[in-house]
Structure 1
């Protein structure tokens, strides 16, 4: 089952043809699709040290190229800042072999994503996660501000999306209770200046090594945002004890912590209904995060 009405299919044969045509130096390498609960890209390994990412949703090729170029710049910048391994951009591919959009190649990071190796009870993992977030917060924004796309700006700007989420979630969730919670979250004031942020610290974007943080994936969204945005990781990734370790390590006051809850809530509400049939792993992530948020407020 496809996840999006406008989803574009891509196969290992297509990838092999694109590599042969555009990057012959990699021809002959084994092409393997990567099983993933990701919702934005289809991912294929090229040999042992590279991965290729193919946007799943149909869009104008020129617009996709601009996005991929920006993501490559952001990933390279984060790689210079991160104290943990992250993928680094290698190349951009062009449409071809029946695939209609540009695509990207990155270095491959070994490890197990947190959705497959649950680190939620690890205090050491929480400490590592705090080190990663703190390093990003210390990086220079160079005068840049949040760009207005997605999460990370003004909570109330998401009212229309949340209204749709509540409507679509009837029969799936306790919508009246969740509406009341959003009514409180959307009013939380913002006091901190933008800081550099990963922007999407969910289990599928975090690698685990033992009970420690092994690396961070999907770094193309790195940029300035609300300091509370990366606190979504507290609710997507951690149980109560490690969650408090993260909070103390980052010295979060009550307002920042509540805004982190709000961003996690906004993301989780969309995951539950949108992916309930097409991507059960992502839908269940949304449910688990909402349960953690609600339990923390009892």
Structure 2
């Protein structure tokens, strides 16, 4: 098995679940990823800046983490950019073993912490401390460089049905949607891919998470599945139709990975973080997984 190096941080992208008490299996994995071998009680930070009610948002996680044996759980709520640039606030994140970015509004989250000392501290924790950085719901969408900012497309992919914004950039050339199957968001994701075919689409169901070990591979855990959308080779008329019109999409590839699925990059060895994952990714999704697991120069 491989031994993580100081540049082998990992990501846990969680699809959200309004019944947060049901997610303890995923939180147990978060604690394990944050702690690592011989370190069962990690220093955990809950970053609640996406929410206007941080205490209410954090409480179920605090209670669940306490049941899982975590004794050090710090809440960081930067409510504005001045607080997000406070060195003392950033220091609490930079020295964490595990950071969970909670839900709320991803636009609020990025308007508050994007480009600040807190943003930089998240990347430093991932890179320098080999930390686990997790995001759930809005926190999951914000983990990509291109963030799904708003919109809906209930019945068909439509031009302009959803918009993008800048995210935290832990993964690049991918856009993440959450609550995916439960809120029927496939058309929303297809709408974005039609107008941005250089991006991969990643949809994560509720009570489901994707473990991403950088440079190694991925694993799907929880109750649902992960949907991968690849439109790089598609034919579309999205550039020629009017706003709100349904787009033609031909040749889009869609892959569904249920919980228990997992793949390694070609040539990668089995890891202590990815449970019992030994299969090499098949050719149709190798490029997708390579993008997910690529190390960002910033982190």
Q: If the length of structure 1 is used for normalisation, what is the TM-score?
A: 0.28
Higher helix content, 1 or 2: 1
Give the number of the structure whose alpha-carbon radius of gyration is greater: 1
Q: If the length of structure 2 is used for normalisation, what is the TM-score?
A: 0.28
